[in-house]
Amino acid sequence: MRLKQSFFFRALPLICGVLFSMETVVQKTFAEGNLVSRKDVLLLNRVRLKSVWEGKAEVPANLSILILAGHADSQGISGAGTAGEAVALKGAKPMDASISDELFWNLLIRDAVVQLGLEQGLNIRAYEPGIRNIDDGNHPLTNWSVGARHARAGGYPLEIHFDSYGEYGFGSGLIPAISTKLNVVDESLALAFGRYPMFFRGGLGAPRREIRVLEIGKLEGELESKLRDPNSRQNTIDAIAQKVVTALVGAIRGKPLP
Ligand SMILES: [Zn+2]
């Protein structure tokens, strides 16, 4: 008995040390977890569909990136984009009565990504069709036509979207081009936002033309409120743009992904 006791007391500092360091590890991990969730709290609803593709092809350092706003050429017809939960279900007024709320945000994110990308030294620009309703998808000014030409010339066309709310949406993620040559930029965006299957919905019009579709997130809940609230709008747009540009820069400059 005495022997056991004395062993216990001699071992006490060791036991305490182990417990203390375990606690430190737990606290540290918890703090890091909090940090990650705070940073990414708006984009937690990632797509959860089975997808197996991997983007491996290298890209040149001066890869020409074209950022398009989804539905910028298709207002007033069936492909106008989601109205968002606030307008469709909660009686809020549209951000701009002449366009869908999705397009309203797609345009702002498009421009923020380009501005930030230029500041980070990327070869990046926006495409603005200038006409909000072009019935013929193959008209030379549509996102589809301009994006397809950009891809054929060796560039990287990326169309910004927000996904539908509730049961109509799948979540954030990259819908890749229907291509055997998916590259490290595709991979980087998929790691940052989520990964849609290559033949999502049987193959959409944009991916068939090698235009990548980036679903930022479902237009609902906290993400939509933070965008709608004038006090948090700019920070939210900046955070989303930063996430896109970080993924682009990481892939193009070969930096390890966060
Ligand atoms: Zn869309």
How is 74-126 classified by DSSP, letter by letter? BTTSTTS---HHHHHHH-PPPSSTTS-HHHHHHHHHHHHHHHHHHHTT--EEE
Identify the domain containing residue 96 by its residue range: 45-252
pLDDT of 109-165, one tens digit each? 999 999 999 999 999 999 999 999 999 999 999 999 999 999 999 999 999 999 999
How far does residue 149's CA lie from ligand 1's centre (Å)? 21
Question: What average pLDDT score do residues 99-107 get?
Answer: 98
**32 and 50: one domain?**
no
How far does residue 215's CA lie from ligand 1's centre (Å)? 7
**201 and 152: one domain?**
yes
Whether residue 2 has pLDDT greater than 50: no
How far does residue 102's CA lie from ligand 1's centre (Å)? 7
Q: Tell me whether residue 258 is in a domain.
A: no
Q: Tell me whether residue 245 is in a domain.
A: yes
Token pair in block for residue 83: 């109205």
**103 and 201: one domain?**
yes
pTM of the complete model: 0.83
pLDDT of 13-27, one tens digit each? 444 443 333 333 333
Whether residue 193 has pLDDT greater than 80: yes
How far does residue 10's CA lie from ligand 1's centre (Å)? 66
More confident residue, 211 or 254: 211
Q: Which has the closest alpha carbon to 240: 39, 18, 32, 73?
A: 39
Whether residue 256 has pLDDT greater than 70: no
How far does residue 109's CA lie from ligand 1's centre (Å)? 13
Whether residue 39 has pLDDT greater than 80: no
More confident residue, 12 or 147: 147
How far does residue 159's CA lie from ligand 1's centre (Å)? 9
How far does residue 216's CA lie from ligand 1's centre (Å)? 10
What phi and psi values does residue 22 have, to the nearest 5 degrees?
Answer: -65, -40
**19 and 102: one domain?**
no
